[in-house]
Structure 1
Amino acid sequence: MAAEETMVELKPQPNKKQKTGGEREDERDLLSLLPDDVLLHIMHFMDTDTAVRTSFLSKRWNNLWKCLKTLCFRRRDFNNVVSYNQFIYHVVSQRDTSIRLNRLDLEARIIAQDLLNLVVPLLHSVPHLGIHLDHISSKRFYCLIPQIFASHSLTSLTLALANQCVRRVFKLPHSLELPALKTLNLTNVSFTARDECAEPFSSCLLLNSLVLVRCSLSNPAKVLSISNPNLSRFTMKRYSEVKYKIVLSTPNLTHFAIKSSIFFSEVSSTCDLALLEEANIDITWSDSHAIVHGLLKMLSYAKILALSEYILTVILDVSYFCFVLFSPLVCILKSIFLI
């Protein structure tokens, strides 16, 4: 058979219609085809400034940011305070109020009173709240203390004041009535006492993690009682020469850390801390070795100890006494580290 007889005649293909630029753009923008809840989940990983800027992408994105459940306002993302406050006002006033806010993290830098009034309604029902105040905004926020510390929905709270001197003004209530609270971080605040003892955390029955940084006591308090049946983690950082005792009533404590660079005062416990797994003691000085001995005895059930050079020096100076003192620890301690 001739070669030409074996060739298969192919049917001519119709000319494909050339796609317009808009059609090609639609094919490339597959992200915008995703459902709103998926896009909002993606936006959750953006900072709020970037999430709001997505409104410039297309009409599809124009109002999505208004449904964000997390708002995080950072002063460092803006050139000046005016533009920062304007951005907060724009976001808070334009967001969809039918969507419950899950987290609010606000750096209040010279925040105006009218803007503060706009933010106040968000504080009533948000579960996760972080407020970072400067010395001017703290005075305006002080009136909100009763609202913040009487919330039944708050599960985590960070309240930090930038200036240590402000703590003389920023006093917390005798008792923090936060029944749902699980995580609490406080910086540069003052605890109010009844008689000589401040006991602010006993009503926070679900509290699991507590961090106190540069916190003080109002007069005439001499004792800070950390009394809580469920507290598992407690961290305290002190940089003040003001002396006050710390008494732990935390039978379920598993992690304990304390840092003191100026003066370290007495820490004791009303229970044996039998569940303690790890303790980090970073102390640079104490006027009494007996206070250090008492602290180490309190931590005798710890499986892991991280100690500062000063603490190790105290131990070595009285090695025989510590050997007797730590006899229960010999069978329990798994690791010891030098900080």
Structure 2
Amino acid sequence: MGSQVKKKLRIYGDEEDKISSLPDELIHHILSFTDAKEAVQTSVLSNRWKSLWITLPFLNFGEYRYSSPKNNTKFIRHVLSKRNRQSDLFELNFCVYNKGLRRCLIANVVEYAISHNVQSLDFGLLYKHQPFKLSTFNSNSLKKLTLRVRLEEFAMELGCWDLPCLTTLFLKYPDFDLTKGNQISDSWFTCLPSLRDLGLENWDLSISSFSFSIPDLTTLRLSNCILPKMVLDLPSLITLDLHNVNLPYDMSDMISTLISLQNLTISSPFTQDHVISCPRPLLNLNIRTSSSRYDSGSGYIIVFAPKICNFTSYGIFATTFGVPELETVNIRLQGWFQGLQSSKEEIYHRLTNMFPGLGNAKTLTFDLESIKALNEISSLLVWLPSPFYNMKYIKVPKTYKKSNMSGALRNYLLGGSPRSTIVTTLPQVCGIETIDKDDRKANEEGDNALQDIKFKIEWLAHERTPFRMAIRRLKRKNRKVMESDSTPADTFLDDLTTKIRGELVAELEEKVSKKVQDNLSMILKKIAEANPGLNMDIGRVAAIIASEDDENGTPFSAKTAGTAGTSGTAGISGTAGISGTAGTSGTAGTS
């Protein structure tokens, strides 16, 4: 046995030890993915590794389920005592499943981390224990805190935590005790001036005194929580993630006040119908259904988000968007069928109920599982018309051979948009160089914006849009729910349509006003360039224009007037600026 080891040493002894030659920082990064026991064990490799672990800025103490409390206590104390006292601890993960650890040892671990300027702390006890005081985690360096422990429900002022640099906080109520006091208090967040990212799991927010008023919060993640009854007061919120929460039938009241929301992710079984009316800034929507409860049925989802660009679905469900165009739709099914009781073939057929509501997409992206599922039901697709009337690109994975796609599937995807193509990589959009590039581009963008809003109003008013038809279908299906609402069922569609149309009309008027002002500014600029000899008081002219409207009632701001006037000295006044053929101020100003 010994000779074999020596033989291997002779074979590999001359080879260079490339890992040991790496800088300490890289080796520390590698060891950050290992448990503290494994990191300490590397000290026997060579003299180079003997003292590497004592300066390791990352410490991970695992669950240690199968070790005795005595051995675990001895090891943890050894690590803390032998570690280099001058080295800061950047990250500590302490999630132990061992009832025998003393409370004083656990407190020493937290105190050690805080005294060594820890920036990221993940702390959890996977067994029943007494609640911790919030002040236990006070730190001037901590930026990210994850707690999976019981906390004092009502913290007094002296017992509150002080975390001036904390930007990310995740609180999970322990799974073993969900029925006892899983409430959150506002006092938990009064000392967190830098908080931007908040995650909550296993909390009953409907009975908590937490008011959900955090003005600077940008990201909120709720998992396995009962949603609050009050409206969310989060004016700066950009990202909202709802996982396995009790969604109301109409989510409009819950999220309509989130005026800065851009990204919304919802993971739910969706066994019932839902209406999701999102704020105007929303750009990205992700919806994930649960396959474990799919056999009990899937609800219909109606979405209205005026400026949404990207939609990603994970699972199979029917949906309709109250917008005339979707930039990108991503269909994901990879791994979704695991645990499903029904056969895949039976579920594949339900895909045909999903696509009619996505017919306005410009780009449709499939993962490997979803495109294979469609190919499996080609015999059914032969009899169905293509729902994609606005399509430009169908994107499939690079590993998928286009030659494997059946003719029926190809016709189903491309038949409604003859100019669309199937690609594995989306082309890059390149700009067009012109002599008068800036002026023409601005003019084209203005025209396109006006046409887009006009089309939205006409599309919304059309009686047979998928959006209006889906609303009617949902009203009939959920008549009892609608009747119990404060808004009568007969006026639900009209009120929603009127609200949406009013917003679009206001946006149209704003863009028309801006376009008229820009055109007038351009005309005055050309007059000034053609008549450089004219002399006038530009400030006086700008003040007069700023105080009046043109003959169409379009306000001309002082800012726009100044822009026009500063391009030359012949802005409006003078012989050529007000009267005569050369000035044409009245006619040109309103054209």
Of 28, 52, 60 in structure 1, the residue corresponding to residue 16 of structure 2 is: 28
Change (3 A) 1:225 1:300: farther
Quick one: distance in 2 between partners of 1:328 and 1:176? 47
Residues 107-116 or 52-61, more deviating: 107-116
Name which of 217, 228, 232 aligns with 2:218: 232
- Identify the match of residue 255 of structure 1 among 211, 216, 239: 239
- 1:285-315: per-residue Cα shift (whole Å, max 9, x none)? 899x9xx76xx44645422334565572796
SS of alignment partner, residue 227 of structure 1: coil
Amino acid in structure 1 at the alignment position of 2:144: S
Unaligned residue ranges in structure 1 (runs of 5+)? 1-20, 162-166, 333-339
* Higher RCO (CA-CA < 8 Å; seq separation 6+): 1
CA contact (8 A) 2:162 2:192 kept: yes
The answer to whether the aligner puts 1:312 opposite 2:301 as a matched pair is yes
Runs of 4+ in 1 over 6 A off after TM superposition: 328-332
Residue by residue, what CA displacement relative to the aligned partner does 1:128-157 show, whole Å, maximum 9, x if unpaired? Answer: 100111233x32xx3453121x32221000
Aligned counterparts, 1:253-332, within 5 A: 253-261=237-245, 272-282=257-267, 296-297=276-277, 299-307=279-287, 310=299, 312=301, 317-318=474-475, 320=493, 322-324=496-498, 327=501
1:103 paired to 2:91:
yes
> Are positions 1:153 and 2:326 aligned together?
no
* Aligned residue number for residue 67 of structure 2: 80
Cα distance change of structure 1 residues 258 and 143 upon mapping to structure 2, 3 Å threshold: closer
Structure 1 residue 61 displacement after superposition: 1.4
Residues 88-127 of structure 1, C-alpha deviations (whole Å, 9 max, x = no match): 2322222112111111110132222342243132242311
Q: What is the rounded CA distance, in whole Å, between the counterparts of 2:171 and 2:40 in structure 1?
A: 30
The alpha-carbon distance between structure 1 residues 329 and 303, as it changes in their structure 2 partners (threshold 3 A), is farther
**SS state at 1:122 partner:** helix
Structure 1 residue 126 and structure 2 residue 118: aligned? yes
- SS of structure 1 residue aligned to 2:40: helix
The residue type paired with residue 216 of structure 2 is N
- 1:36-51 pair list within 5 angstroms: 36-51=24-39
Deviation at 1:46, TM superposition (A): 3.6
Does the 8 Å CA contact 2:55/2:84 hold for their aligned counterparts? yes
> Are the structure 2 counterparts of residues 41 and 300 from structure 1 closer, same or farther at C-alpha, using a change threshold of 3 Å?
closer
Q: Which moved more, 1:275-284 or 1:321-330?
A: 321-330
Query: 1:215 Cα shift?
Result: 1.8
Amino acid corresponding to residue 79 of structure 1 in structure 2: Y
Q: Give the match for residue 47 of structure 2.
A: 59
| Aligned AA (2:166) | L
1:261-298 Cα deviation digits (max 9, x unpaired) = 557699967994332112123456899x9xx76xx446
Quickly say closer, same or farther: Cα 1:94–1:263, change in 2 above 3 A. Answer: same
Bigger helix fraction = 2
1:230-285 superposed Cα distances (whole Å, 9 cap, x missing partner): 32111112355xx7424433222111122345576999679943321121234568
Q: Percent identity?
A: 25
Q: 1:120 to 1:68 in 2, by over 3 A?
A: same
Distance 1:239 1:270 in 2: 16
Within 1, Cα distance between the matches of 2:268 and 2:501? 23
Kept in 2: contact 1:245–1:267 (CA 8 A) = no
Evaluate the alpha carbon distance shift between residue 311 and residue 115 of structure 1 in structure 2; reply closer, same or farther with a 3 A threshold: farther
Question: Kindly tell me: are residues 131 and 326 of structure 1, through their superposed partners in 2, closer, same or farther at Cα, counting changes over 3 Å?
Answer: farther
Contact residue 135 and residue 161 of structure 2 kept, 8 A: no
Matched letter for residue 118 of structure 1: N
Q: Which has the higher strand share?
A: 1
CA contact (8 A) 1:102 1:127 kept: yes
Give, as a single letter, the amino acid of the residue that structure 2 aligns with 1:71. Answer: L
Whole-angstrom distance in 2 between the partners of 1:317 and 1:329: 23
Measured in 2, the distance between the counterparts of 1:182 and 1:52 equals 31
CA RMSD of aligned residues (A): 4.1
Structure 1 residues 192 and 99, CA gap change in structure 2 (3 angstroms): same
Query: TM-score of the superposition, structure 1-length normalised?
Result: 0.68
User: Does structure 1 conserve the Cα–Cα contact (< 8 Å) formed by 2:264 and 2:284?
Assistant: yes
Q: Give the whole-Å Cα distance in 1 for the aligned partners of 2:252 and 2:277.
A: 11
How do 1:180-199 and structure 2 match up within 5 A?
A: 180-188=165-173, 190-191=182-183, 193=185, 198=186
Check 1:72–1:246 CA distance in 2 against 1; reply closer, same or farther (3 A cut): farther
Spell out the pairing of 1:210-221 with structure 2 (5 A cutoff): 210-216=198-204
1:300–1:328 contact (8 Å) kept in structure 2:
no
How far residue 63 of structure 1 moved from its aligned partner, in angstroms, is: 1.8
Q: Which residue is 2:106 aligned to?
A: 116
Aligned residue identity for 1:252: S
CA contact (8 A) 2:233 2:257 kept: no
Contact 1:262 1:285 in 2 (8 A): no
Check conservation: 1:75, 1:84, Cα contact below 8 A: no
Unaligned stretches of 5+ in structure 2? 1-8, 175-181, 290-297, 303-469, 476-491, 508-591
Amino acid at match of 2:229: K
